[in-house]
Amino acid sequence: MSIYLRLLLVVFSIVTCYFVLRKIRKFQMHIDDAVFWIVLSAMIVIISVFPQIATFLSDLIGFESASNFVFLVFIFILIIKLFQLSVQVSMQKHKLQMLIEEYAVKQNELDKQLSNKKDV
């Protein structure tokens, strides 16, 4: 891995951490979500500063190049995160649908009560 690429990865990781911390301060991101991005950035910094780790692990598992190993690991981590977010979105959709239904029932009951009072 070239020194230019390593420096670029470190800079982008630091910038990512900065944006995540900024979002936390503005209350636009939960801590548990932010931890994921900070840990991912830290992993990129570690791999960038010590590329021997990626080389050792890729040789141990049997990859032809360390970059293939790194790409596969990070793609796998991001797929897991995407799955987790999909589950959260599905749960939020379900909760929203239940809330809309409850609101509609309450609104219907209120409308009936108001129409009964007008008739009296």
Give the total residue count for the chain.
Answer: 120
CA distances to 12, 47, 76, 97, 103 from 54, in Å: 19, 6, 15, 46, 54
pTM of the predicted structure, to 2 decimals: 0.75
Q: Per-residue pLDDT tens for 19-31?
A: 999 998 998 888 8
Name every residue whose Cβ is closer than 8 Å to that of residue 63 and which is 6 or more positions away in sequence: 69, 72
Q: Which residues of the chain have pLDDT under 50?
A: none
**What was the pLDDT predicted at 120?**
61
Q: Which pLDDT score, from 0 to 100, does residue 89 have? A: 96
Domain boundaries of the chain, sorted by first residue: 3-88
Cβ-contact 69, 54 below 8 angstroms: yes
Q: Going by C-beta distance under 8 Å and a sequence separation of 6 or more, which residues neighbour residue 31?
A: 24
pLDDT of residue 57: 93
